[in-house]
């Protein structure tokens, strides 16, 4: 004879099916999430580049030369820190959350030179 139990609960197969379904959903959703996050960070970088380009054009229009060249003598770092052109501060990298500046010097057969 078979005993009938009044205890509620899930069978092993039901729990296994739910775990497998959640795993499949995670496999589908997580790559989309991380891809979207990278796309958003790249969009922030593109926006920062556009902001710098606009500020350089405004500076050139106002002063007749690009920052760091001509008069008034101003370094590009000082230009990036100028609140007239960047009221919210210089652009920040979305991953490192810093506004690090990279300086590169070029050299040729004629000798070392700084980028113009």
Say which residue, 63 or 7, is predicted with more confidence.
63
State the distance between the two ends of the chain, measured CA to CA, in whole angstroms.
Answer: 93
Q: Kindly state whether residue 27 falls inside one of the protein's structural domains.
A: yes
pLDDT in tens, 35-59: 788 888 889 888 888 888 888 888 8
Q: Kindly state whether residue 70 falls inside one of the protein's structural domains.
A: yes
The number of folded domains in the chain is: 1
Q: Kindly state whether residue 10 falls inside one of the protein's structural domains.
A: no
pLDDT in tens, 85-109: 888 877 888 888 887 666 666 566 6
Global pTM value: 0.53
Find the domain containing 44 and state its range: 15-113
Q: Kindly state whether residue 1 falls inside one of the protein's structural domains.
A: no
Q: Kindly state whether residue 50 falls inside one of the protein's structural domains.
A: yes
pLDDT of the residue at 101: 66
Q: Kindly state whether residue 6 falls inside one of the protein's structural domains.
A: no
Q: Kindly state whether residue 63 falls inside one of the protein's structural domains.
A: yes
Question: What letter would DSSP give residue 110?
Answer: T
Q: Kindly state whether residue 72 falls inside one of the protein's structural domains.
A: yes
Asked if 93 and 101 touch (Cβ cutoff 8 Å), the reply is no
């Amino acid at each position: 004879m078979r005993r009938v139990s009044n205890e509620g609960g899930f069978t092993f197969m039901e729990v296994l099916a739910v775990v497998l379904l959640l795993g499949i959903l995670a496999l589908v959703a997580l790559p989309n999430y991380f891809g979207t996050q990278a796309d958003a960070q790249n969009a922030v970088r593109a926006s920062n580049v556009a902001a710098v380009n606009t500020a350089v054009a405004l500076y050139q229009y106002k002063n007749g030369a690009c920052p760091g060249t001509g008069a008034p003598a101003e370094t590009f770092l000082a230009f990036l820190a100028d609140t007239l052109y960047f009221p919210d501060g210089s652009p920040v990298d979305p991953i490192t959350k810093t506004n690090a500046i990279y300086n590169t010097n070029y050299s040729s057969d004629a000798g070392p030179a700084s980028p113009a």
